[in-house]
Amino acid sequence: MKLAQLLILPATLLSAVLAIPEYSEHLHLRPLPNGYLYAGFNFTASTSLSAYESQHFRYFPRSLGQILQHSHTKELHLRFALGRWDDESWGSRPRDGKREGGTGVEIWAWLDSGGGKPAVEERWSSLVNSLSGLFCASLNFIDRTKTTRPVLSFEPEGTHRGGGDGMELLHGTLPHEVVCTENLTPFLKLLPCKGKAGISSLLDGHKVFDANWQTMSIDVRPVCHVGEECRLEIQQTVDIVLDIERSMRPRNDPIPRPRPVEELECDESKSYHASDTCYPRRKEGEMAWSLSQIFGTPVRGSCHVADGDESPDVSLEISPDRAVEVLHSGSNETLMSDAQDQRLRVYRLSDSGKYTDISLIQQIIQEAPHQEQPPLYASRQITGFGQERGGMHAVLHNPHTYPQRIVYLESLPWFLRPYMHTLKVLSHPTTSHDQPATPVKPDKMFYTPALDRKRGTHLELLLTIPAQSTVELTYDFDKAILRYTEYPPDANRGFDVAPAIIRVLPLNSNSTAGNGKTQDSYLRTTSLLLPLPTPDFSMPYNVIILTSTVIALGFGSIFNLLVRRFVLAEEVPRSALAVRVAGVMGKVRGWVRSLKGRMRGGGDGGGRAVGGAGEAAGGAGGMNGISGVAESRKER
């Protein structure tokens, strides 16, 4: 297992032994329990610092190199992630979680701090804006409210002149960003073989983003070795966990349909098993799969472009008992195989072959799959109800028999206002439930309070999690009310809160001999959805109209009181216009009535009289017209 990690990070550790090839790539495959497959792609290219500074690019991508130079970036880490790593069933995270990001987009970089704070902010903004263009992501929305400056959580991976002085770390997250194919395409364009040859030919947007968990990373850092010129190294990784059955569904019929009854595999031991009742039988053993079935295509050719690159391209971490068949077209050059480790098989793609495919058959393996326990389990939730306040509740569970020191980092948006005096860290031992919870005192705490619309909250805690216990971290917060224009179009969905980042610090080698890891590892909680009070968005117009109406009403009555002349009702002079209108109306009415009378009685005198009366009354004008009619009716 240790060797497997060595191979997963060939650039970091193997490079110390061998001269670094300018470009190398590697694919690590590991079946996970319950029919999942982990595939970790790793592409490492490097260039000498002098070539980089004079802008001569070979395998290092020019587009990215220019961005880094323009923004004076010393070290860059960029992550695109989707889904959740199920550490309960899949075990510890690949690459110790170091090449993994929180849901959405995450970026942190060390920038040249020359020129003071405004210059750094200018560079940061130029960096995120250029990367936004390069990767078709909304990275340009990482502004000052989404940027934090963590103290303990990250350390530079590269070797920097002056030991990291004159550099400043900035960290930004975009939990709302949906990672998709448009981010993968520019990612592949940065590779020398551009997804056309070598293992990168397996990367297809349909498969990568169909995965249960997926993370893409880009890490640029300077690497120096004694006696050699410093090099700038770019490491690109894609880690995915695929549901084997789902990704092997036929390409021409991707819609899931019920299987015909004949094809169902039923558990016949169930008492209710009958011809029309079927309880699906549990799959036994390991599933059969092949690269071409899972990724839709076999590996095309190879991408051995650099001199001195002799490392294996593909490694397969499976039980020694499983049979593996390697098919390739073209030449039959044997692939490198069977490293020292029993569980690991490594292959090198042949240079002349056109296609290479690895296929495994279904087998029942007695041996339980080896799984490494993750260093820590972490989860985080929002508690409380209502639109005014809530609480944060993070649970950190240490399953190991030794205590662990961690750094817990939260970068919260400004509209979530935590109350630090309510911060409680309580520890419960998992072995015995009756013991009371004991408070845990953080060893160190860094807290930058939020400023409305200017800065988010940055909270960093250095904690020790006791052995075999669960630590609960809680605090309360207020939900701010945003301005009308600050709401996104889908305001009722809620607002994403970036995942908490947990760095598990390496243990001192002398304190617990060989128990813990010698390198630190990272894990991230899922991102949270924070419902904020959302207004009715027609509100401003309603308010304008309502207040206008109220003002107009008040104004109208006061104005009338001031200006009108008050006289007795009988004294009201009739306006000439009203008199004329009433006259016309009365005439029309009388004419209609006479017409009606004529139709009814054919010259009935009474009818005429009514018409005449009506006319006369109508002539009186105004309201009296109606009363005139009433009077004439009485007469009748």
Phi, psi of 181 (to 5 degrees): -55, -35
| The binder of other proteins chosen from 17, 54, 262, 510 (CB under 8 A) | 54
Contact call for residue 579 and other proteins (CB under 8 A): yes
| The binder of other proteins chosen from 84, 144, 194, 397 (CB under 8 A) | 194
**Terminal-to-terminal C-alpha distance of the chain:** 115
Rg of the chain, C-alpha, whole Å: 38
CA neighbor of 299 nearest in space, from 567, 41, 627: 41
Residue (263 or 570) nearer to other proteins, CB: 570
Cα–Cα distance between 494 and 496 in angstroms, integer? 7
Whether the CB-CB separation of 618 and 625 falls below 8 Å is answered with: yes
- Which stretches of 329-383 are assigned E, i.e. beta strand? 344-347, 355-360, 377-383
Q: Quick one: which segment of 75-83, 404-412, 528-536, 544-552 binds other proteins (CB under 8 A)?
A: 544-552
Cα–Cα distance between 404 and 412 in angstroms, integer? 25
Q: Quick one: which segment of 87-95, 286-294, 422-430, 611-619 binds other proteins (CB under 8 A)?
A: 611-619
392, β-bridge pairs: 382, 475
Contact call for residue 45 and other proteins (CB under 8 A): no
Whether the CB-CB separation of 23 and 10 falls below 8 Å is answered with: no
| The binder of other proteins chosen from 544, 581, 626, 630 (CB under 8 A) | 544
CA neighbor of 523 nearest in space, from 376, 403, 425, 380: 376
CA neighbor of 27 nearest in space, from 321, 302, 354: 302
| The binder of other proteins chosen from 563, 577, 634, 636 (CB under 8 A) | 563
Whether the CB-CB separation of 287 and 362 falls below 8 Å is answered with: yes
Residues in the chain: 636
Contact call for residue 78 and other proteins (CB under 8 A): no
Measuring CA to CA, how many Å separate 444 from each of 151, 376, 425, 460?
11, 20, 13, 8
- 167-190 as b/e, with b when 16 or more CB fall inside 10 Å? bbbbbbbbbbbebeeebbebbbeb
202 by Cβ neighbours in 10 Å (0-12 / 13-18 / 19+) ranks as: buried
CA neighbor of 76 nearest in space, from 103, 50, 112: 112
387 by Cβ neighbours in 10 Å (0-12 / 13-18 / 19+) ranks as: exposed
Contact call for residue 571 and other proteins (CB under 8 A): yes
Residue (192 or 499) nearer to other proteins, CB: 192
Cα–Cα distance between 127 and 143 in angstroms, integer? 11
Cα–Cα distance between 479 and 497 in angstroms, integer? 12
Instruction: Give min distance, CB of 22 to other proteins, in A.
Output: 9
Q: Are strands 23-32 and 314-317 parallel, antiparallel or unpaired?
A: parallel
Instruction: Give min distance, CB of 56 to other proteins, in A.
Output: 5
Instruction: Give min distance, CB of 604 to other proteins, in A.
Output: 11
- Sign of the four-CA dihedral 79, 101, 80, 295: positive
Contact call for residue 611 and other proteins (CB under 8 A): yes
Cα–Cα distance between 608 and 598 in angstroms, integer? 8
Contact call for residue 474 and other proteins (CB under 8 A): no
Residue (59 or 477) nearer to other proteins, CB: 59
Q: Quick one: which segment of 314-322, 368-376, 399-407, 556-564 binds other proteins (CB under 8 A)?
A: 556-564
Contact call for residue 366 and other proteins (CB under 8 A): no
Residue (368 or 572) nearer to other proteins, CB: 572
| The binder of other proteins chosen from 253, 541, 599, 634 (CB under 8 A) | 541
Instruction: Give min distance, CB of 302 to other proteins, in A.
Output: 9
Total residues interacting with other proteins, rule: CB under 8 A:
66
Instruction: Give min distance, CB of 563 to other proteins, in A.
Output: 5
Contact call for residue 551 and other proteins (CB under 8 A): yes
Residue (156 or 619) nearer to other proteins, CB: 619
The crossing angle, in degrees rounded to 10, of helices 62-70 and 116-135 is 160
Contact call for residue 297 and other proteins (CB under 8 A): no
Please report, as residue ranges, which positions from 581 to 600 form the binding site for other proteins (by CB under 8 A): 583, 586-587, 590
Instruction: Give min distance, CB of 190 to other proteins, in A.
Output: 8
| The binder of other proteins chosen from 17, 226, 572, 599 (CB under 8 A) | 572
Q: Are strands 495-497 and 501-504 parallel, antiparallel or unpaired?
A: unpaired
CA neighbor of 616 nearest in space, from 608, 606, 625, 607: 625
Residue (70 or 633) nearer to other proteins, CB: 70
What is the DSSP-derived secondary structure letter of residue 335? Answer: P
Instruction: Give min distance, CB of 520 to other proteins, in A.
Output: 34
| The binder of other proteins chosen from 361, 529, 553, 578 (CB under 8 A) | 553
| The binder of other proteins chosen from 137, 305, 335, 349 (CB under 8 A) | 305
Q: Quick one: which segment of 58-66, 241-249, 384-392, 421-429 binds other proteins (CB under 8 A)?
A: 58-66
Q: Quick one: which segment of 147-155, 324-332, 446-454, 617-625 binds other proteins (CB under 8 A)?
A: 617-625
Q: Quick one: which segment of 138-146, 313-321, 500-508, 613-621 binds other proteins (CB under 8 A)?
A: 613-621
| The binder of other proteins chosen from 34, 381, 509, 548 (CB under 8 A) | 548
| The binder of other proteins chosen from 420, 552, 581, 626 (CB under 8 A) | 552
Please report, as residue ranges, which positions from 123 to 142 form the binding site for other proteins (by CB under 8 A): 130, 134
Instruction: Give min distance, CB of 192 to other proteins, in A.
Output: 5
Contact call for residue 209 and other proteins (CB under 8 A): no
Cα–Cα distance between 583 and 586 in angstroms, integer? 5
Contact call for residue 70 and other proteins (CB under 8 A): yes
Residue (553 or 595) nearer to other proteins, CB: 553
Phi, psi of 79 (to 5 degrees): -130, 140
**Residues 435, 439, 445, CA angle at the centre, nearest 5°?**
155
Contact call for residue 436 and other proteins (CB under 8 A): no
Contact call for residue 576 and other proteins (CB under 8 A): no
Contact call for residue 608 and other proteins (CB under 8 A): yes
Residue (57 or 209) nearer to other proteins, CB: 57
Residue (222 or 611) nearer to other proteins, CB: 611
Point out which residues bind other proteins (CB under 8 A). Answer: 54-59, 61-63, 66-67, 70, 130, 134, 189, 192-194, 196-197, 303-307, 541, 544-545, 547-549, 551-553, 555-556, 559-560, 562-563, 565, 567-568, 570-573, 579, 583, 586-587, 590, 605, 608-609, 611-613, 615-621, 624
